[in-house]
Amino acid sequence: MYNARGRYILMAIIVATGVICLVQKEEQLAALAGLMLALLVWSHFKQSSVVIASKQFKNGDYDRAEKSLQEVPNPDRLSKRRRGYYEFMKGSIALKREEYDEAERHFQIASRFPIGGKNDKAFVMIHLANLALRKKDKTRVMAYVAKAKELVTTPKATDIINRIEKEAISL
């Protein structure tokens, strides 16, 4: 759970430790440092700063969450679980900035990855239905609503889905 800068500093410390261990002829400790470095590099690409961004996002600090998400070197390399959260947060931030096309693109990608439980996935569908409603695309709205109804588990989400469906019918 480090940001990119913290991971780079930790990588440098581990490399220095490994070199010192090799100079001191402590091959086992050097090998351990190499394994730790490999784990850290793997973590950098598969996990990145998504967990930190998630905490900031949940606290309502969207600017810091976006900065943390910008540290992700390549979103395609993230693990499936992290990629879903990454895209969901990027879509939500774009939605708050009223960048609807970008938000729709991120929510479309997020819908293909696992995100928490069924209710979280239902909210992705709700956002997509709402964006389609904004474009007055009734067929897409109804498709997203149908998928969201399959996934929904809370009364609040059910209420939102019903309101979107009523608005879509009146299109």
CA atoms within 13 A on the CB side of 83: 16
In angstroms, the CA 13 to CA 18 distance is 9
User: Per the structure block, which two tokens stand in for 37?
Assistant: 């470095």
For 90-136, what is each residue's pLDDT tens digit? 999 999 988 999 999 999 999 888 887 777 888 888 999 989 888 88
pLDDT band at 89 (very low <50, low <70, confident <90, very high): very high
Helical segments of the chain, H only: 4-23, 27-46, 50-58, 62-70, 80-96, 100-110, 118-134, 138-151, 155-169
Tell me: pLDDT of 1 over 70. no
If pLDDT is split at 50, 70 and 90, which confidence band does 54 have? confident
pLDDT for position 166:
84
Q: Which residue type does 42 have?
A: W
For residue 75, what is the DSSP state? Answer: G
What pTM was estimated for this model as a whole? 0.80
Select the more confidently predicted residue: 138 or 21. Answer: 21
If you ran DSSP here, which 8-state letter would residue 73 be given?
S
Dihedral over Cα of 160, 119, 52, 46: its sign: negative
Count CB-CB contacts under 10 A for residue 153. Answer: 11
- Report whether pLDDT(152) > 80: no
Q: Between 68 and 4, name the one with better pLDDT.
A: 68
* Axis-axis angle for helices 118-134, 138-151 (nearest 10): 170
